[in-house]
Chain A
Amino acid sequence: ETGVTQTPRHLVMGMTNKKSLKCEQHLGHNAMYWYKQSAKKPLELMFVYSLEERVENNSVPSRFSPECPNSSHLFLHLHTLQPEDSALYLCASSQGSGGIYEQYFGPGTRLTVT
């Protein structure tokens, strides 16, 4: 595997389910990001994890819970989601987060909440 991978690519879940999205980067980077892309809206940064910082967008509901066990893996745990959470969830990585580094994106997980 090369670059940034995400699994699953598609996910349909009910509002009472618990699921997790997984992201893995094979670039030797030290920072990882979760973005949400809703229809007709720009990408919104949800979380940043790096050796330098952990940043959370305060507008992200607590039903989204990130986990970063090491610099290569990032998870997004989902529980009791709402239909408006249906979106494309994109993971990205960069060499670091405190400096200026180019970000590379995974293919995304298309989430549908029923």
Chain B
Amino acid sequence: GIQVEQSPPDLILQEGANSTLRCNFSDSVNNLQWFHQNPWGQLINLFYIPSGTKQNGRLSATTVATERYSLLYISSSQTTDSGVYFCAGGEETSGSRLTFGEGTQLTVNP
């Protein structure tokens, strides 16, 4: 199966700063999602983005499928952005099944 590598593993920011999280895949994926896990464990869907660029408020994501990576941008970060960010991908033969990365632990300080 595919390997999913996320970087950085940990990130500490001051409120208002911008950041970029990266996700690399060992093989081609045609199903890619970004999630935010809040302190209570709930996984919140951020983006479904097998390719291209999407924006939602202060968050945006870009996937370059041919180069097997995806980026999540957080602008003007807020303390409520703290938590773990996961990317997950699925291979062509896997249907909707996802393989998750280990996550980026983001802490935004006031």
Contacts and interface: CB of A to CB of B under 8 A. Distances in A.
A associates with B: yes
Given A43-B86, A105-B43, A100 B30 contact: yes
Interface of B: 4, 30-31, 33, 35, 40-43, 45, 48, 50, 86, 88, 90, 95-103
Contacts of A104: 45
Contacts of A92: 43
B41 A88 contact: yes
A98 B31 CA distance: 12
Interface residues of A, number: 29
A29 to B, nearest CB: 10
Nearest to A102: B48
Given A42-B4, A100-B30, A94 B96 contact: yes
Going nearest first, the 10 A-B pairs with the smallest beta carbon separation are: A105-B43, A43-B100, A42-B100, A102-B48, A108-B41, A100-B31, A101-B96, A94-B96, A98-B95, A107-B42
A101 B98 CA distance: 10
A76 interface: no
Contacts of A110: 41
B48 A97 contact: no
B98 A41 contact: no
23 contacts: A31-B96, A37-B41, A42-B99, A42-B100, A43-B86, A43-B88, A45-B97, A45-B98, A48-B97, A90-B41, A92-B43, A94-B96, A97-B97, A98-B95, A99-B95, A99-B96, A100-B30, A100-B90, A102-B33, A103-B33, A104-B45, A105-B42, A105-B43
Contacts of B98: 45, 103
